[in-house]
Structure 1
Amino acid sequence: MQSPTRTRAGASLLAAGAAAAALLAGMLSPGVSHAASQENCRPDGLYATPGVDVPYCSVYDTEGREKMGADHQRRVIGYFTGWRTGKNGQPAYLASDIPWDKVTHINYAFGHIDSSHKLSVGADGEKNAATGMTWPGVTGAEMDPALPYKGHFNLLNKFKKQHPDVKTLISVGGWAETGGYFDDNGVRVNSGGFYSMATNADGSVNQAGINTFADSAVAFIKKYGFNGVDIDYEYPTSMKDAGHPADFPVSNARRGGLNKGYAALMKTLREKLDRAGAADGKHYMLTVAAPSSGYLLRGMETFQVQKYLDYVNIMSYDLHGAWNEYVGPNASLFDDGKDAELASANVYGSAQYGGIGYLNTDWAYHYFRGSMPAGRINIGLPYYTRGHKNVQGGTDGLWGKAAAASCPAGSGLTKCGDGAVGIDNLWHDKDDNGKESPAGSNPMWHAKNLEKGIVGDYVTQYGFPADTRLTGTYVRKYDSTLVAPWLWNSEKKVFLSTEDEQSVAAKADYVVDRGIGGTMVWELAGDYDWNAAKGQYEIGDTLTTSMYEKFKSAAPYGAKKSNSPLPTDAVDIAVDFTEFKLGDSNYPITPKLKITNNTSATLPGGTEFQFDYATAAPANASDQSGFGTKVIKSDHTGGNTGGLKGDFHRVSLKLPAWQSLAPGGTVELSFNYYLPVSTPSNWTVNIAGTAYALAGDLGRGTKLVEPGSGSSPSPSPSEPGTPGACTAPAWNATSEYGGGVTVSHASHQWKSKWWTKGEEPGRTGEWGVWQDLGAC
């Protein structure tokens, strides 16, 4: 099955206004009703599928916050892996081992995309851990005979009956199965996975593949009792050689189109899950595991998929490791201004970067906070170590260097770090030849034993002799600025980055203090407890319990995108960031910002727009197009040692005095910035002295109006074509259309790509349901 840690590596209306407010925001179309009660539960900024009465209130309360049980004010999401079965002689971690009363969500890792683009966990059979395996004689692992399948899925559903507030999601992909999958014999099939399912070889969107996958995902979660789908696509970025090296022949050739395919995939999944949820009377969730590295995010444009997600899980770990020589924490909370990798790239010395270090959890959180409520973001914690050997320099190894003489076979690297091995690498990967990959990867329970000088009795299960002795002393170190512990063995020059009660408590406090949705853990089997009878640490739930205790009486999480009140009247003016340069050509980052006036009013020259972007980038955004783009307010300035102090920079730009914007008209400007940002949000536009929100922000409590009218717009009648020219039946907002149906509308003929109702042709965009067949 997948390797234990490389699978994750490297890497938030009034009833009368609801329908009108959603109309031009892309949520509804004329003639389709949407129950106000359900809209009142929709999280701020979450896209609602047109024509579908999504049952948000089955999952969310009337503030748009997730309902998780009285003692769960914040999420504790644990990844539960399918391969720790105990069948290979190593310690098992089964559903019965999960601390069900301490977690809120369980993500099963992993499902994969098979060669026909469908979601799969392999063929059924007694060796299939997900659906067929059993554990006779293991207390708690008795199968529920009421279910038609066995394996982990049976046990997950058995325990969910006892803990109905806990939700389960099927996680698809991971490091090893993003671009392929493991067959029933454990051999990796390089099928293309996400890369070929969502993106064609020429970089165009593979909508047929996406539809196949999304339909299979809906069927899968219904069959096996999951509450939703978690996408772990590593990575839809334009940065070359990102992801698993075995995928490079497929992924690198598609780099220019991966982000478009990712966006189309998320939109399609959201809509198909919403339709299925409406039919079943329950909201199905869609989440992602997202990278935290500024390098990878630079190639993901402005992460415009967040509107389709219930929440995002930030993989805020694997920030330092043996893929390079720079020795540092796996998952520090903050920057300390001394990160050796960033210093080597002159990040701290560059005025354009603003001295902001971007390899830490706080930076990643603020990146996503720029476009999402705090409560729709979860920070990631690793229950495993990463580390180097033969470390030179630094302070007790921290920020030292450990260069390897050669790189592991199949790593795709020509220069890498000297990763820890042997007893310091218990959870290591193996290459295709079964050889150990140096990484310093260990479950936290093993790291605790190393810290105490204990050789656990489990070492024989990992190939070590029973009389194994440790060399040197593993001394725990802690940096309070970074919020990062590590073990330092001065005799072996071994550095192992760890997590423990102190760092996890500090991260939990950070979550509570900032209104963040919660935490995500990779993976539950790395947690520890002390076994006094044996005198050693073993698999347990100490760290998970610590978070639960911190969260159970916390205030409700932050449910709004903006920290300041926004207008309740919204207008339909679209803003899109396009034409991103690819890969290493995208510095500085200079996309086009396109503004389209979809109202019936002409915007005069001098019309002012304002928006927020995250303090994860410095306050130096500008334009080259005469719009006078400037930062007018900042919640943070300067470097970010010890954390960013606030969330947003507020930006102003104005239409040039000589340029009005007529109804249907578009203007573009070249927008410049230097560190990646997620989609700017909290937009306002001032028209004739009145400030309006923009419908595309999908804000709760807003209604759509025409500028100056204070009233909702009326649907525009369809434009008649030349008599007799449009032979297809006229589109009707209340009719249902299957895939492949041709209609006429607005003097054009349109063909539906999949089932639709209420989505107006010409308004669904390039990747939407209606294909324009031309004028008629």
Structure 2
Amino acid sequence: MLSPTKKRASLLTSGAAVAGLLISSLASGGVSYAADNESCRPDGLYKTPGVDVPYCSVYDTEGREKMGADHQRRVIGYFTGWRTGKNGEPAYLASDIPWDKVTHLNYAFGHVGGDNKLSVGTDGPDNAATGMTWPGVAGAEMDPAYPYKGHFNLLNKFKKQHPNVKTLISVGGWAETGGYFDDSGKRVDSGGFYSMATNADGSVNQAGIDTFANSAVDFIRKYGFNGVDIDYEYPTTMKDSGNPLDWQLSNARRAGLVQGYAVLMKSLREKLDRAGATDGKHYMLTVAAPSSGYLLRGMETFQMQKYLDYVNIMSYDLHGAWNEYVGPNASLFDDGKDAELAAANVYGSAQYGSLGYLNTDWAYHYFRGSMPSGRINIGLPYYTRGFKNVQGGTDGLWGKAATTGCPAGSGLTKCGIDNLWHDKDTAGKESPAGSNPMWHAKNLEKGIVGDYVTRYGFPADTKLTGAYARMYDATLVAPWLWNADKKVFLSTEDEQSVGAKADYVVDRGIGGTMVWELAGDYGWNAAKGQYEPGSTLTSLMYDKFKAAAPYGAKKAGTTLPTQAVDVGLEFTDFKLGDSNYPITPKLRITNNTATALPGGTEFQFDYGTSAPNNASDQSGFGTKVIASGHTGSNVGGLKGDFQRVSLKLPAWQSLAPGATVDLSFNYYLPVSTPSNWTVTIGGTAYALTGDLARGTTTVEPGTTTPPTTPPTTPPTTPPTTPPTTPPTTPPTTPPTGCAAPAYTAGSVYNAGQTVSHKGHGWKAKWWTQNEEPGTTGDWGVWQDLGAC
């Protein structure tokens, strides 16, 4: 998550330029779980084997988070520890939070100490988290029920009044991923996440991970948090990613960072599950995840999402003054004109599918490929990004600005972009990032010099140079301020853009929004005639969400089989860094059943429309996309969530129990872990245990009985005779007046197949089974072809 010194790598090519009825065994080796808690487990969430995790303390029997009757979607606010008012600048304390409008608060930041333990520094009166007090500040009185003071005391004080709000300790951030700030404010280059999770030789540092995970459990128990939010920036194989101060250490470990991250998240999940079972409440685990296609390209298939209650997408910092391309900070959609992407020939490349990937919609669909929409939250910035000396473009948009630094100085024209929150390097030199709270941007828009500027070191007689005109692009869903006199472009957010993003969340069943940071929101002070910190944007989202339908709780876009078999799928052997384009991992299939899979066995799966529909293999498995959720450019948004793929074991390649086979997979833009798998064995389609789907029972192929023990000795000869009894075929006589075959429950239908049902014709958009036409809605699998 952002700290005052945050920036993002963005260019992909820049490195080269029910409800409690079933007891599931899932992938845990057949361990049975208590049905009452299993009924509340979110779809696709990993469960620690042998632990009765108290999911129902947080989730309902649909696997949806319980947040209060007026909170159908999440509003997650980052609350920072450094806006204490002690430095003379305006404070933003727990008493300033709009508690009735938010659902979760992430405290920024804890860090990984030199001992690999979670820490917020040494206790004492100067520690903002645990020791500081604010005498005389209304609402900031300490609650004597707690043995600590500071922000943590106040968070728990207000949680008593708002018990539906959950708090999480966020660890890391841009400045403290690879180190931390000591009690004097000096940064200590300890290695942070990089060395805690990954050894110098690239191997997993299990000891460091265990130390951290144990300390995280102790920490949240001590300070009353509901979970842990990991902001590791960034465990990617792409060189020179993250804070430049960390590169010397992080670049040497690149080959092992993703694996270390995955083990870290698994260890945290398991330790939090065990602690929650003891304490009688489910502890949450979340992450702040990058939205940059460049960074995600080096994170394999983000295979740690199964350990997360939800993911917060940092869908901002998509353009900024760290390179020359002038564009919006956090556009919702692509417009086909992004100068950075055009320079890399993304729009002209058939391999890319003309998909612009520097926007929120693309990042959402990346994660949607492996998670329910309700376990995803999109990020919104309550701060600006800016450029000075912009040349070309339309009112600056898609123009260029030289990436020269600027010295720190006085006056309201520091760096030429009138910013309050200054990005500085360790030498104190300011960079032209244009980072401002949104309330200051609103004053710039209205030509107001607020009375607060003197508290940031500006002269009392400061005047603005030139005028800031508000611009808006409806295709991008992006506002900005343009100062034609100074050639300054400031990317902003306001009611129009935030309202459109809230509608996007509601319409697509997304879990909610995350904002960095609450102190940037604005409100109008009529008495002073200026904008100040407030809750305008947060309240707008609350109002949009409170009457929304429940969020999407299912990972699959259609109904999958309820019987699952234990066939393992793993994407592995990713190339590193700039060598990983196109993306060509091995797909490893392991038969963990007691039944041999004959040659020709078909697997189907979905991957997100963040990548075009041109996936293939180089191993003779006939990989092909059989249903496309989106084709063509993504101007104005991707139209569907999934590309569905089919592949088959070669005719000569049977797979005995316990055996493994690899194929070389090939795709061109990043996707998260492919999901919604089916395998057809003996004419019956099964789900796979690895999808961790709700409501599935693991069975042996050809039976309805859960396996008792795994196979120990594979048969010497795999079966070669196909089943003698073909599967039941659907009736071929359509209803009177309808030409297509009648729909039959239980039958499998693939994309493009048509049926007749209740006097209408219907066309399947993708693979489906047991999903009755007419019941799936406009966005469901069946397209209504009209009366027949």
Deviations 1:413-452 (A, max 9, x none): xxxxxx9725622111222222322211100000000000
The 8 Å contact of residues 440 and 532 in structure 2, kept in 1 or not, is answered as yes
Match in the other structure for 2:357 = 358
Instruction: Give the deviation of 1:5 after TM superposition.
Output: 3.1
Instruction: Give the deviation of 1:141 after TM superposition.
Output: 0.1
**Alignment partners' CA distance in 1, 2:666 and 2:684:** 28
**Alignment partners' CA distance in 2, 1:483 and 1:100:** 28
Match in the other structure for 1:585 = 579
Match in the other structure for 1:769 = none
Match in the other structure for 2:166 = 167
Instruction: Give the deviation of 1:715 after TM superposition.
Output: 2.2
The 8 Å contact of residues 577 and 594 in structure 1, kept in 2 or not, is answered as yes
Match in the other structure for 1:704 = 698
Match in the other structure for 2:538 = 544
**Structure 1 position 123 matched with structure 2 position 122:** yes
Unaligned runs of 5+ in 2: 11-17, 714-788
For residues 59-458 of structure 1, what are the structure 2 equivalents within 5 Å?
59-405=58-404, 421=415, 424-458=418-452
Match in the other structure for 2:768 = none
Paired AA for residue 248 in structure 2: P
**Alignment partners' CA distance in 1, 2:381 and 2:414:** 17
Instruction: Give the deviation of 1:351 after TM superposition.
Output: 0.3
Paired AA for residue 453 in structure 2: V
Instruction: Give the deviation of 1:99 after TM superposition.
Output: 0.1
**Structure 1 position 643 matched with structure 2 position 637:** yes
Say which of 527, 530, 535 aligns to 1:533.
527
Deviations 1:325-368 (A, max 9, x none): 00000000000000000000000000000000000000000000
Paired AA for residue 239 in structure 1: M
Instruction: Give the deviation of 1:513 after TM superposition.
Output: 0.0
**Structure 1 position 556 matched with structure 2 position 550:** yes
Paired AA for residue 332 in structure 1: S
**Alignment partners' CA distance in 1, 2:399 and 2:263:** 43
Instruction: Give the deviation of 1:73 after TM superposition.
Output: 0.1
Paired AA for residue 489 in structure 1: N
Match in the other structure for 1:42 = 41
Paired AA for residue 249 in structure 1: Q
What secondary structure, in the 3-state scheme, does the structure 2 residue paired with 1:691 have? strand
**Alignment partners' CA distance in 1, 2:372 and 2:705:** 28
**Alignment partners' CA distance in 2, 1:544 and 1:466:** 31
**Structure 1 position 487 matched with structure 2 position 492:** no
Deviations 1:168-206 (A, max 9, x none): 000000000000000000000000000000000000000
Change in Cα spacing, 1:569 to 1:8, as seen in structure 2 (3 Å) is: farther
* % identical aligned pairs: 82
Deviations 1:455-506 (A, max 9, x none): 0001001111011000001000000000000000000000000000000000
Deviations 1:211-256 (A, max 9, x none): 0000000000000000000000000000000000010011000000
**Structure 1 position 629 matched with structure 2 position 623:** yes
The 8 Å contact of residues 369 and 647 in structure 1, kept in 2 or not, is answered as yes
Paired AA for residue 384 in structure 2: T
The 8 Å contact of residues 331 and 476 in structure 2, kept in 1 or not, is answered as yes
What secondary structure, in the 3-state scheme, does the structure 1 residue paired with 2:152 have? helix
Match in the other structure for 1:57 = 56
Change in Cα spacing, 1:200 to 1:270, as seen in structure 2 (3 Å) is: same
**Alignment partners' CA distance in 1, 2:610 and 2:133:** 48
Paired AA for residue 624 in structure 2: K
Paired AA for residue 305 in structure 1: M
The 8 Å contact of residues 594 and 710 in structure 2, kept in 1 or not, is answered as no
Match in the other structure for 2:492 = 498
Paired AA for residue 567 in structure 1: P
**Alignment partners' CA distance in 2, 1:291 and 1:407:** 28
Match in the other structure for 2:777 = none
**Alignment partners' CA distance in 1, 2:111 and 2:40:** 32
**Alignment partners' CA distance in 2, 1:89 and 1:422:** 24
Change in Cα spacing, 1:392 to 1:681, as seen in structure 2 (3 Å) is: same
Unaligned runs of 5+ in 1: 410-418, 720-776
**Alignment partners' CA distance in 1, 2:346 and 2:416:** 35
Say which of 650, 655, 661 aligns to 1:656.
650
The 8 Å contact of residues 299 and 582 in structure 1, kept in 2 or not, is answered as yes
**Alignment partners' CA distance in 2, 1:263 and 1:433:** 35
The 8 Å contact of residues 298 and 676 in structure 1, kept in 2 or not, is answered as yes
**Alignment partners' CA distance in 2, 1:407 and 1:140:** 40
Change in Cα spacing, 1:581 to 1:407, as seen in structure 2 (3 Å) is: farther
**Structure 1 position 516 matched with structure 2 position 515:** no
Paired AA for residue 295 in structure 2: L
Change in Cα spacing, 1:126 to 1:600, as seen in structure 2 (3 Å) is: same
**Alignment partners' CA distance in 1, 2:607 and 2:376:** 16
- Normalised by the size of structure 2, how large is the TM-score? 0.88
What secondary structure, in the 3-state scheme, does the structure 2 residue paired with 1:286 have? strand
The 8 Å contact of residues 388 and 420 in structure 1, kept in 2 or not, is answered as no
**Alignment partners' CA distance in 1, 2:469 and 2:193:** 43
**Alignment partners' CA distance in 2, 1:468 and 1:312:** 43
**Alignment partners' CA distance in 2, 1:554 and 1:16:** 28
The 8 Å contact of residues 17 and 712 in structure 1, kept in 2 or not, is answered as no
**Alignment partners' CA distance in 1, 2:93 and 2:255:** 41
Please tell me the root mean square deviation across aligned C-alpha atoms, in Å: 1.6
**Alignment partners' CA distance in 1, 2:683 and 2:249:** 53
What secondary structure, in the 3-state scheme, does the structure 1 residue paired with 2:23 have? helix
Paired AA for residue 466 in structure 1: A
Match in the other structure for 1:474 = 468
Deviations 1:590-614 (A, max 9, x none): 0000000000001000000000000
Paired AA for residue 370 in structure 2: S
**Alignment partners' CA distance in 2, 1:547 and 1:86:** 28
Instruction: Give the deviation of 1:34 after TM superposition.
Output: 1.6
- Normalised by the size of structure 1, how large is the TM-score? 0.89
**Alignment partners' CA distance in 1, 2:19 and 2:156:** 38
**Alignment partners' CA distance in 2, 1:259 and 1:528:** 38
Say which of 645, 666, 691 aligns to 1:672.
666
Deviations 1:255-291 (A, max 9, x none): 0000000000000000000000000000000000000
Deviations 1:733-764 (A, max 9, x none): xxxxxxxxxxxxxxxxxxxxxxxxxxxxxxxx
**Alignment partners' CA distance in 1, 2:3 and 2:638:** 33
What secondary structure, in the 3-state scheme, does the structure 1 residue paired with 2:295 have? helix
What secondary structure, in the 3-state scheme, does the structure 2 residue paired with 1:510 have? helix
Paired AA for residue 342 in structure 2: A
**Alignment partners' CA distance in 1, 2:414 and 2:384:** 10
What secondary structure, in the 3-state scheme, does the structure 2 residue paired with 1:449 have? helix
The 8 Å contact of residues 8 and 318 in structure 2, kept in 1 or not, is answered as no
Paired AA for residue 532 in structure 1: A
What secondary structure, in the 3-state scheme, does the structure 1 residue paired with 2:452 have? helix
Say which of 664, 681, 685 aligns to 2:675.
681
What secondary structure, in the 3-state scheme, does the structure 2 residue paired with 1:421 have? helix
Paired AA for residue 433 in structure 2: A
Match in the other structure for 1:722 = none
What secondary structure, in the 3-state scheme, does the structure 1 residue paired with 2:105 have? strand
